[in-house]
Amino acid sequence: MPSATSIAAHAAGLLLTLCLAAWLTPRAWWRRPNLRALAVLAGGTALLGGLLGMMWGPERAGPARAPVLASARSPGKTVAPVAGARYHVREHLNLRAGTGVGARRLAVVPAGTRVVATGRRQGDWWQLSVELGGQRLEGWASSLWLRRADEQLARF
């Protein structure tokens, strides 16, 4: 369903098209309804309404997010952690007792640390195993902050 902003933009586009058509086209074109007049009105309304909608429309860009794993970019492919697969942590990562940001934090995994996927997942949350300070920890983390071990770690 079109938003109120989109409807208002196309209504303004129609009015602007009518004004421009009256000013820029011969008067004889508008004496009788015809396909040429309909094409000018429809095309002008769509073009100008679309441009006005882009100018007035809400910002489409959300908060900056970390890029997802390269294999997730392929449409139609579901990325699932493979048990035993190694990943690098892109930024400091909270290892949690459960899924979600409200779960208790077990540790902070430093950027660049290698982690191992256990194969379990719930949405974007993957269960990981990591060795920190000589101790093996297992917990949950957002997969958005992980890169395959063969990917180059780069700051975006």
For residues 118-130, average pLDDT: 91
Over residues 45-93, the pLDDT tens digits come to: 899 888 888 887 665 444 444 444 444 444 444 467 778 888 888 889 9
Cα angle 137, 142, 148; round to 5: 85
pTM confidence score: 0.48
Instruction: Locate 146 and state its tokens.
Output: 């992980």
